[in-house]
Chain A
Amino acid sequence: MSIDRSDIEKLGELARIAITEENIEATTRSINEVLALVDQLQTADTAEVKPLANPLDATQRLRHDEVSETNRRDDYQPLAPAAENGLYLVPKVID
């Protein structure tokens, strides 16, 4: 399967990565090279093969429901590009 520039624009939107006009062609080309590589998967006979999401056939361990975290806002929030009154600030959120 190969993709064109309109697909790339859509992917950029989905992944929230701006792709500039001068980059779009090169991006499209290189992604098509990768897709040509991964298309080799289609040659595999995978009928009846159960997908393997995780290499170990292990199951989820559970945590006790006990508060183990203290308030560390003063450590975390200085890392933010913008914060005020304990809140992280971002450009206006409109639903």
Chain B
Amino acid sequence: MTWETVIGLEVHTQLATKTKIFSGASTQFGAEPNTQACAIDLAMPGTLPVLNEEALRMAVMFGLAIDADIGKISAFERKNYFYPDLPKGYQTTQLEKPIVLGGHVDIELADGSTKTIRIHHAHLEEDAGKSLHEDFHGMSGIDLNRAGTPLIEIVSEPDMNNADEALAFAKKLHGIVTSLNICDGIMAQGSMRFDVNVSVRQKGDELGTRTETKNLNSFRFMERAIKKEVERQIDLIEDGGKVLQETRLYDGDTDTARSMRSKEEANDYRYFPCPDLLPIEIDQAYIDAIKASLPELPEARHQRFMEQYQLSSYDAGVLGDDAATANFFETAVDHCGDAKLAANWVTGELAAKLNSQEMQIQQSPVSAEQLAALIKRISDNTVSNKMAREVFEAMWQGDGEGGNDPDAIIKARGLKQVSDSGAIETLVDEVIANSAKQVDNYRSADESKRPKMLGYFVGQIMKASKGQANPQQVNEILLTKLKELL
């Protein structure tokens, strides 16, 4: 049997406004509990909402970036349910008339082809607070600092067929909203959270029953949750069971998921137009002005990186799709002047390190300026690539002598590369003199085999220099000397 998976995503994206969507309280992350929850956010009696113009502008920017229609008239509705992190007992959101309608996001597949993921709509709404589950004498603690933070909920069509596509879509969205500067994109702070709708079917069949797994707050969890859910559904059906329409919860720590509520238990949200807010009317001039000032989007940046920095399409994608990465890279280039090396380092050493620690580039302990300073020491032959990796490691840790400053670390560790050709010549001569047998073998070997035999000499020379000789110079001098012996 050939199974086909159908996936749709709902992406909650926190907007990078200074204040809440309906109040003048700060949205700054990490404040003491409830110090940024004003009377409106706490739903004190008699308080009323007023819409933040910046939240609206950002939502329109997103719509324009994905080629969507902008709702000239949009409206807020109340979604009614009781939960301690929802102070009003309803969420102010949009249902009938969302601000963003349609649009699409194109993703690149593994085979290099492009797939269009359609967006159903995106709407403005308010975020909820947080329930802290640690125990306060058998009670839960409620922090409402996050309550009222503006969100756009981006709802895709069920156009994805596997976890990789969903991941590519999510990352592309991340790239778009961070490029627009409407979201800080910091996953660890909940700036982007995913609900995934998954169903499976036999190729050609009607859509299967879908489940919704809620509130996945990292790319990895989303990918894992989808894979697990697809497996679960296929196993279930193959064992003669039926998939039930339900809402599920995935726990990233244990990599397990469980049913939260069935369709029958689903809330009756009793949506109706919010009488405290009036319809939002925007005109074409407003839309045109935003359109004219849209910043560079990932696709355009991808192209520019290929042209401006002579990068491969792959590197340009890795560096250009995500705004923070692109900024990091361009800052590094500005400071070191070597795009090729900067690209290698950002996509290589730095990316590996970030991955292994599950960090985003915004959280990198090594700044773009610091990385550029290190790259400069590679370009000017102060350190070899190998040494540079050691320096980078020290910069990353940041707690040794020299802190994050590459020059200080190089000095402290005595890592200066030997580029004095006289000194290297002496070393080469010594090694050749002490390796009569290897020199004989080299001389008698076939021309085509010779390059492979250089490794031994280089290794000996580097060893003799305690790793400090400039490998490129070593290569050049060694070749010249050996040629003389032929």
Contacts and interface: CB of A to CB of B under 8 A. Distances in A.
Verify whether A and B have any Cβ pair under 8 Å: yes
Interface of A: 14, 16, 53-54, 56, 58-69, 71-73, 76-77, 82, 84-93, 95
Contacts of B37: 73, 76
B35 interface: yes
Contact of A65 (B17, B140, B142, B268): B17
A87 B26 contact: no
B34 A93 contact: no
B395 interface: no
Contact of A66 (B24, B36, B56, B268): B24
A interface secondary structure, majority: loop
Contacts, number: 120
Contacts of B36: 69, 71
Contacts of B18: 65-67
Given A60-B279, A73-B37, A85-B141, A67 B136 contact: no
Contacts of A65: 17-19, 52-55
Contacts of A84: 136, 141
Interface stretch (B38-46, B199-207, B290-298, B424-432): B38-46
A95 B24 CA distance: 30
B281 interface: yes
A68 B19 contact: yes
A92 B25 contact: no
B249 interface: yes
Contact of B51 (A53, A62, A72): A62
Nearest to B261: A95
A69 B141 contact: no
A72 B37 CA distance: 8
Contacts of B397: none
B260 interface: yes
Given A16-B82, A85-B33, A59 B280 contact: yes
B35 A86 contact: yes
B84 A95 contact: no
A88 B141 contact: yes
Interface of B: 17-19, 23-26, 32-39, 42, 44, 50-56, 82-85, 131-133, 136, 138-144, 249, 260, 268, 270, 273, 275, 277-281
Given A54-B278, A59-B281, A72 B38 contact: yes
Please give me the 5 A-B residue pairs with the lowest Cβ-Cβ distance, nearest first: A68-B24, A87-B141, A65-B54, A62-B53, A69-B38
Nearest to B142: A88
Contacts of A93: 83-85, 131, 133, 140
A58 B278 contact: yes
B54, B140, B281 — most chain A CB neighbours (10 Å): B140
Contacts of A88: 34, 84, 141-142, 144
Nearest to B139: A89
Nearest to B138: A92
Contacts of B273: 53-54
A69 B23 CA distance: 8
A76 B42 contact: yes
Contacts of B136: 84-85, 87, 89
19 contacts: A53-B273, A54-B275, A60-B281, A62-B50, A62-B56, A64-B53, A65-B52, A67-B19, A67-B26, A69-B36, A73-B37, A86-B35, A87-B33, A87-B136, A87-B141, A88-B84, A91-B140, A92-B139, A93-B83
